[in-house]
């Protein structure tokens, strides 16, 4: 395993990914920039040639497609990045023809670059190897909806914000204005964060209590398994504080994002987002509960149309009391044997500080 590659991953060293855009879109790395040697159409054409006529013919076609000004432009894009980041790395899918050819062209232009010989395949394996963690090396931060777990999480030195990486708050109402990343892109970002933590080695890792899915993305199974056996810290806060936090995060902040992204369509889309999120839990909420909550939400949206967002507090409190809290109480009861500490934000922070101080690598 290349020490240069490990260091680059830990330090977010820029990388040049010369794979085609279609490959990059589904399997991106956090610090990589896609500067392809072949675009999607060219890659498809060369692949078909390889299948029908073999490697020699495919290589010749590749050189034909990427020549003249097209070749010059692609080399210049690599040079521009290397000039800004002399420690940049270069890779393709398996460390084969594409990255070798790119490195050769750069050498001819007077530039050298470290090439990842195993390509993306090698990098991916390094990241996948990070997922299994001994449960003793984890703390899982639990707490009822709106208690402020993410706020406590990000204050701890050794944490990974799974919902941040997934671009989703992890509930029916947790979708963001921007889309979630591709599954493998999410896994790669998580692997990089785990790699950084392993090399820091100054205490257990703090993660927020999550289910199998965060939005449409699933946690890697080895990490899920470790989390299910790890120690729980239960964050506590009053019902009123939780309702206010949800109103701030899911209404005020989300509405600001919708306004910024959609302008004249913002209210229509925001209303649709809330109503669809409520509909997604209709079966679990129950028929009468859904009718009551939908009525409160419609009243709140009517009030918001005149500029007043305070009405949303009503359906938020209803959902907390009649859906989220009963569900959380049941789920936490199933995990009671794993609880090692309960407290408010300040008490949780103090507990974690003591654990960090007592940790012996």
Backbone angle region of 146, left / alpha / beta, with phi > 0 → left and psi within -120 to 50 → alpha: left
Using CB atoms within 10 A of its CB, is residue 36 exposed (0-12), middle (13-18) or buried (19+)? buried
Q: How far apart are CA 40 and CA 355, in angstroms?
A: 51
Beta carbons of 139 and 233 less than 8 angstroms apart: yes
Contacts of 204 (CB under 8 A, 6+ apart): 136, 137, 138, 139, 158, 355, 359
Question: What are the start-end ranges of the H helices in the chain?
Answer: 3-10, 21-26, 40-53, 55-65, 68-84, 97-108, 119-128, 149-153, 162-166, 183-200, 221-228, 239-246, 254-262, 266-280, 282-285, 287-304, 312-319, 325-334, 345-358
Using CB atoms within 10 A of its CB, is residue 119 exposed (0-12), middle (13-18) or buried (19+)? buried
Whether residue 92 lies in the annotated active site = yes
Q: Which of 38, 92, 172, 189 is catalytic?
A: 92
In this structure, what token pair is assigned to residue 3? 């020490």
Phi, psi of 356, deg, nearest 5: -65, -40
Sign of the Cα torsion 30, 34, 38, 40 reads positive
Q: How far apart are CA 361 and CA 347, in angstroms?
A: 24
Phi, psi of 178, deg, nearest 5: -85, 155
In this structure, what token pair is assigned to residue 153? 């999480």
Using CB atoms within 10 A of its CB, is residue 210 exposed (0-12), middle (13-18) or buried (19+)? middle
Q: How far apart are CA 324 and CA 301, in angstroms?
A: 21
- Which amino acids are annotated catalytic? 92
């Amino acid at each position: 395993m290349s020490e240069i590659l490990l260091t680059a991953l830990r330090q977010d060293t820029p990388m040049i990914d010369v794979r085609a855009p279609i490959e990059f879109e589904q399997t991106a790395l956090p610090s990589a920039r896609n500067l392809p040697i072949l675009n999607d159409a060219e890659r498809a054409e060369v692949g078909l040639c390889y299948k029908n006529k073999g490697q020699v013919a495919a290589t010749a076609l590749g050189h034909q497609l990427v020549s003249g000004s097209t070749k010059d432009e692609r080399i210049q894009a690599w040079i521009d990045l290397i000039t800004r980041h002399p420690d940049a790395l270069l890779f393709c899918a398996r460390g084969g023809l594409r990255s070798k050819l790119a490195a050769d062209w750069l050498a001819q232009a007077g530039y050298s670059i470290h090439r990842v010989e195993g390509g993306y395949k090698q990098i991916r394996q390094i990241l996948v190897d990070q997922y299994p963690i001994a449960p003793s090396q984890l703390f899982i931060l639990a707490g009822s909806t709106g208690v402020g777990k993410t706020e406590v999480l990000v204050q701890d030195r050794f944490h990974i914000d799974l919902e941040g990486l997934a671009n989703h708050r992890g509930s029916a109402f947790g979708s963001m204005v921007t889309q979630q990343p591709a599954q493998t892109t999410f896994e790669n970002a998580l692997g990089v964060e785990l790699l950084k933590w392993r090399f820091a080695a100054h205490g257990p890792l703090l993660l927020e209590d999550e289910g199998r899915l965060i939005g449409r993305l699933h946690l890697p199974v080895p990490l899920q398994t470790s989390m299910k056996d790890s120690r729980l810290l239960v964050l506590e806060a009053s019902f009123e504080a939780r309702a206010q936090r949800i109103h701030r995060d899911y209404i005020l902040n989300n509405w600001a994002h919708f306004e910024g992204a959609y302008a004249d369509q913002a209210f229509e889309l925001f209303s649709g987002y809330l109503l669809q999120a409520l509909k997604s839990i209709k079966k679990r909420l129950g028929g009468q509960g859904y009718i009551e909550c939908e009525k409160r939400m419609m009243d709140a949206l009517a009030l918001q149309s005149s500029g007043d967002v305070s009405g949303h507090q009503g359906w938020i409190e209803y959902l907390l009391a009649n859906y989220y809290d009963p569900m959380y109480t049941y789920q936490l009861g199933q995990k009671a044997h794993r609880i090692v500490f309960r407290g408010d934000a300040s008490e949780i922070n103090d507990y974690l500080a003591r654990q960090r101080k007592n940790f012996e690598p």
